[in-house]
Amino acid sequence: MLLPLLLLHSGNSLRSTFTASGRARPLWLAVQRQATVLIGEEGEGTGEYGMTEMAHNDALQILQAVNLTVELSLTLCDNAFMRALNAQWRGKDSSTDVLSFPVEDEVMVGDVVICLSVAERQAAERGHSLRDEVRVLLVHGLLHLMGYDHEVSLEAALEMEAAEQLLLTRLQWANNGLISSSGQCHAVD
């Protein structure tokens, strides 16, 4: 049974309460701590997109919107780098749009890796900008770090889709999350 990971409270604030293993996760660390995003680029041509600073700022906005004062590692990469990661960690010999690697730590929430060339293709298919697509992928990736997993069941996919929509609406960003945009709200292998 999946425990709820995002609880809606009065004022529509989002709070992560449990890790995927069911352990309580501290939400409010030291008050003086601020959200931090460590960003890097891997692979050829990733700097040509001009997304590094925008993605950094957008990731900080997401962390603030969910009241997380943690560190997030964000990597913008090319197809070759993403394909290697996807093969190593998921056994799939193809590139993908976003991968998340949670860390069980009070300070570091985990790593989100976004493939800019896949994001660019998806943005064109969905009729919005590359920045909007990267924002959707950031939200999707962070929700995975918070314990959401749309691949385990239809119920889990619906929960994650609702969380994506809520967060994107709160941030006043693109109006369709990754799950909604794909037209597939079902468990994926």
pLDDT tens across 127-151, in order? 989 999 999 999 999 999 999 988 8
Q: Tell me what pLDDT residue 171 has.
A: 92
Query: Per-domain residue ranges for the chain?
Result: 29-149
Q: Does domain 29-149 have CATH number 3.90.1170.50?
A: no
Residue from 66, 143, 155, 151 nearest 110 by CA: 143
How is residue 71 written in tokens? 């560190």
Q: How far apart (Å, rounded) are the C-alpha atoms in residues 51 and 86?
A: 22
Q: How far apart (Å, rounded) are the C-alpha atoms in residues 39 and 53?
A: 9
Residue pLDDT, tens place only, 30-89 = 334 577 888 888 877 777 778 899 999 999 999 999 888 889 999 999 999 999 999 999
Q: How far apart (Å, rounded) are the C-alpha atoms in residues 179 and 186?
A: 9
pTM: 0.76
CA-to-CA separations, 142 to 5, 47, 113, 119, 148, in angstroms, rounded: 12, 22, 10, 16, 9
Owner of token pair 């939200």? 139
Residue from 98, 83, 175 nearest 142 by CA: 98
Q: How far apart (Å, rounded) are the C-alpha atoms in residues 141 and 41?
A: 17
What is the three-class DSSP state of 114? Answer: strand
Strand partners, 76: 41, 114
